[in-house]
Structure 1
Amino acid sequence: MRGRGGGGPHLLARGLWVSAELVVTLGVVLLLLVAHQLWWTNREARADAGRTVRSLQREWDEPVPENTDGGGAREGSPGPSPSGRGGEGAPAGPAASDAPAPARSRTAPRWDQAYAVLRIPRIGLTAPVAEGTGKGGVLDRGYVGHYARTAQAGRAGNFALAGHRNTHGEPFRRIDRLRSGDRITVETRDAVYTYTVDKRLARTAPSDSGVIAPVPRSNITTSVGYSTPGYYLTLTTCTPEFSSRYRLVVWGKLTSMRPR
């Protein structure tokens, strides 16, 4: 009888021990998942993005064959110098008006293809720009994604880009630090375009499509944005950090261009 009575505390202690082991194991798994998201995905994406930038630079440094097929320029390739065009956001000054129009590329970027390099000195960013904003093929690789159906770099309209703020390379983590007058460059095979930061929208809804319109203006905070055609750059990312509830928006205007 005494032996049977002593089994209860023993079983209880064993149950508590097993439960504690499960809690510790679960905690370790969660820590590993967090480490994977916050460290490993950043490490892998940054390495991939760095390789892509170097590959693009090598490719651009190679001679380009003459275009003998009579094909037209690709959509989004650099056109004539935008100086002299009316409207808010149109570049002005010798840097824009004196530069010759860069050569036109023959083919449009394929979906998920990296084809440009974005540099933002203020936050120490150098990242490849790829066509589209899909996660698997673009954003989760540490790339900056170009919104489909928005203008290409250097073209009239709105060159709109998206990037992760946290994890997977987080190229846009610090764009909240950008201020009016900061310089942003976009380099393609044909030219280097310089945009100057002009306005910010600290928070808006993910559904606010007005921020990437050809003439960008928030559909929600209608006092923020532009009212006339120009040559715009839009950067978008999630906010606040570690959340996708809202979007943070930074706008810039094209201020100069030069051939590569």
Structure 2
Amino acid sequence: MRGFPRVVRSPEHVDSAVGVDELLSGNTAARKRRARNRRRAAGHRPRQGFFRTLVQGLGELLITAGVILLLFVVWELWWTNIDANNAQQQALTQFADKFQGPTAPVAAPGSPPRNYGAPPVMAEVNAPGTVFGVVYVPRFGRNYSRPLVEGTAMEQLNTLGLGHYEASAMPGGVGNFAVAGHRQTHGAVLDAIDTLVPGDRIYVQTNDGYYTYVFRNNQIVLPDRVDVLLPVPTRPDAKPTERFLTMTSCNPRFGSSERIIAYSVMDAWQPTSAGPPAAIAGQVAANKSKG
């Protein structure tokens, strides 16, 4: 009876089979060693406790809060100024477009100043938010001109610039014509208020003409010092005989714990028909050209 045929392997075939077996067994052992090493590493890895998790969470919250605060500062110091400057320029253009009068001095250059008598007192403005004039301060820059708006609520100061205290005098009136404005935000209309020096001129343009005030001095007070708005500033029992201009703003420059007050007194006026004072004629013409 014949059996199954016998397979005879050559020496080369035997060596090859043994090599494959060794290779497979070696790979299996290597995989087991790597698995054991991973288990040991996981066993030695420190566990993250509650305190560490809490610290990490607080750190992430602080970073987020810092980013939000930075964005708020950028919005306050940059974007509000851009937004307010656009609104103020539009208000200047509208006022200049309706203004009737020459945009250059009528008098010949070098001619002596003319006395136009007592200045007219502008009628009171009853509607807050109404733009009724323009303020020019050459000390603040050759092109400085800002709208003069009725009211000192945030809706006026945050948008249109210099707000008139409703209970104070109007331009040309005996007593205290008082205005307020921001320093670092919302147009920064009084950013340079601390740079005024005695003798600096401040010009107020209305439909009646141009009122020239001369700066005298400034004062730093606490926010509750409302006596700076009296007809004679800080003197409750005095009867006014002069025409004052009082400008108020926050102090220090990047804070609001105090108020800086700039006092000026009226020096001259000229009617609309005489044209603007020479010092601001260029800016008056520039505002008119944009109308």
TM-score bucket (shorter structure)? 0.7 to 0.9
- Could you say which residue in structure 1 is the equivalent of 2:129? 112
With over 3 angstroms needed to count, the CA separation of the structure-2 counterparts of 1:173 and 1:218, relative to structure 1, is: farther
What amino acid is the match of 2:171?
Answer: A
CA distance in 1, matches of 2:252, 2:77: 16
2:205 to 187, 209, 213: 187
2:175 to 136, 144, 157: 157
The answer to whether structure 1 residue 26 and structure 2 residue 38 are counterparts is no
What is the alpha-carbon root mean square deviation over aligned residues? Answer: 3.0
List gaps (5 residues or longer) in structure 2: 1-38, 102-111, 273-291
With over 3 angstroms needed to count, the CA separation of the structure-2 counterparts of 1:38 and 1:218, relative to structure 1, is: farther
Shift of 1:19: 4.9
- Could you say which residue in structure 2 is the equivalent of 1:50? 89
- Could you say which residue in structure 1 is the equivalent of 2:222? 205
The answer to whether structure 1 residue 130 and structure 2 residue 149 are counterparts is yes
Partner of 1:207, secondary structure, is: coil
CA offset digits 1:220-248 (Å, max 9, x no partner): xxxxxx87521111011111122211111
Contact 2:122-2:171 within 8 A present in 1 as well: no
Partner of 1:48, secondary structure, is: helix
Shift of 1:14: 7.2
What amino acid is the match of 1:230?
Answer: E
Contact 1:239-1:245 within 8 A present in 2 as well: yes
- Could you say which residue in structure 2 is the equivalent of 1:240? 252
CA distance in 1, matches of 2:51, 2:164: 59
Whichever structure has more helix as a proportion of its residues is: 2
With over 3 angstroms needed to count, the CA separation of the structure-2 counterparts of 1:250 and 1:105, relative to structure 1, is: closer
List gaps (5 residues or longer) in structure 1: 63-93, 220-225
- Could you say which residue in structure 2 is the equivalent of 1:259? 271
Number of matched pairs: 221
Shift of 1:132: 1.1
1:8 to 38, 42, 47: 47
Partner of 1:187, secondary structure, is: strand
The answer to whether structure 1 residue 148 and structure 2 residue 159 are counterparts is no
Shift of 1:30: 1.3
CA distance in 2, matches of 1:10, 1:234: 63
CA distance in 2, matches of 1:111, 1:19: 47
What amino acid is the match of 2:166?
Answer: A
CA distance in 2, matches of 1:189, 1:133: 21
What amino acid is the match of 1:216?
Answer: P
- Could you say which residue in structure 1 is the equivalent of 2:79? 40
The answer to whether structure 1 residue 217 and structure 2 residue 234 are counterparts is yes
With over 3 angstroms needed to count, the CA separation of the structure-2 counterparts of 1:171 and 1:23, relative to structure 1, is: same
With over 3 angstroms needed to count, the CA separation of the structure-2 counterparts of 1:156 and 1:218, relative to structure 1, is: closer
Shift of 1:108: 3.0
Contact 2:125-2:150 within 8 A present in 1 as well: no
Partner of 2:178, secondary structure, is: strand
Contact 2:116-2:269 within 8 A present in 1 as well: no
What amino acid is the match of 1:123?
Answer: F
TM-score (norm 1): 0.74
Name the % identity: 32
CA distance in 1, matches of 2:125, 2:240: 27
Shift of 1:169: 1.0
